[in-house]
């Protein structure tokens, strides 16, 4: 949302989800700006497909992206949602591991992976930022795995809402949580059926814990019970 060609919008400049991410120096910004391409794409745009050859690493600057795998059974498993500040482009043996698709209109920075590798190998400080970023993704993945260990659908959904909430920059007193993705996406992320997610949402409403305003905004009505439910891992 910063106008012009400024690299300020590159996500390194902000904190995400509670960990302190050091700010990029101007030198680093310039370095990245020299090799990055800014892209604005509409929702549903596919950025790359699984098993296609790795060519770019991406930075999400604005909007939400989902990373998923198509399973042999035809089901799809969403590995992660990428928010502002997240990097993505995970590959194995030179092939992307997931397919990534814009959930909302998205602004990303795209850097050729070989160029990025070169820059990183020459600049340990910058590389350290990446190490931090990937470590952060690792924590997110482990956290998701813990959530998937839960049996109860309502608890999983509540925990998911917490994730979304923590991703925000905690506007004080803001009780509304934007839920940009579809129920189907949530189901695929939580390892539940669409119906189970729908029923879980209803249950949270019925019990006076969460209220939904349309399908894309949630309000935590009873914070105490909400927190209890989330903590009841």
Q: Which of 198, 204, 209, 230 binds DNA (CB under 7 A)?
A: 198
Binding partner of residue 127 among DNA, a second copy, none, CB under 5 to 8 Å per kind? Answer: a second copy
Question: Please, which residue, 24 or 177, has the CB nearer to DNA?
Answer: 177
CB of 201 to DNA, least distance (A): 6
Shortest Cβ distance from residue 170 to a second copy (Å)?
Answer: 16
Instruction: Check binding of 55 to DNA (CB under 7 A).
Output: no
Q: Token pair 């189907």 is at which residue?
A: 184
The closest of 138, 140, 88 to 111, measured between CA atoms, is: 88
CB within 8 Å of 41: residues ≥ 6 apart: 47, 102, 105, 106, 108
Q: Residue 43 CB, nearest distance to DNA (Å)?
A: 7
Residues that bind a second copy (CB under 8 A): 18-20, 69, 71-73, 75, 77, 79-80, 90, 92-93, 97-98, 117, 120-125, 127-128, 130-131, 134-135, 137-139, 141-142, 144-146, 148-149, 191, 231-233
**Which of the ranges 31-39, 45-53, 95-103, 150-158 carries the binding residues for DNA, by CB under 7 A?**
150-158
| Interface ranges with DNA (CB under 7 A) | 43, 151-154, 182-184, 191-202, 212, 214-216
């Amino acid at each position: 949302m910063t106008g012009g060609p400024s690299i300020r919008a590159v996500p390194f400049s902000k904190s995400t989800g509670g960990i302190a991410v050091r700010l990029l120096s101007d030198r680093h910004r310039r370095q990245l700006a020299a090799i990055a391409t800014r892209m604005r794409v509409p929702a549903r745009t596919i950025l790359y497909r699984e098993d296609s050859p790795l060519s770019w690493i991406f930075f999400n600057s604005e909007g939400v992206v989902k990373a998923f795998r198509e399973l042999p059974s035809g089901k799809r498993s969403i590995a992660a949602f990428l928010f502002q500040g997240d990097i993505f482009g995970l590959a194995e043996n030179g092939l992307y591991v997931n397919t990534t698709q814009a959930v909302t209109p998205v602004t990303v920075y795209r850097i050729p992976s070989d160029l990025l590798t070169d820059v990183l190998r020459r600049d340990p400080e910058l590389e350290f930022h990446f190490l931090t970023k990937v470590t952060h993704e690792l924590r997110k993945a482990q956290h998701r795995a813990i959530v998937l260990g839960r049996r109860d659908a309502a608890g999983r959904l509540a925990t998911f809402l917490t994730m979304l909430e923590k991703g925000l920059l905690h506007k004080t007193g803001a009780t509304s949580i934007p839920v940009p993705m579809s129920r189907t996406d949530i189901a695929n992320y939580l390892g539940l059926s669409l119906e189970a997610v729908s029923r879980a949402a209803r249950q949270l409403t019925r019990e006076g814990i969460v209220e939904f305003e349309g399908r894309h905004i949630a309000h935590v009505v009873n914070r105490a019970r909400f927190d209890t439910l989330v903590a009841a891992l």
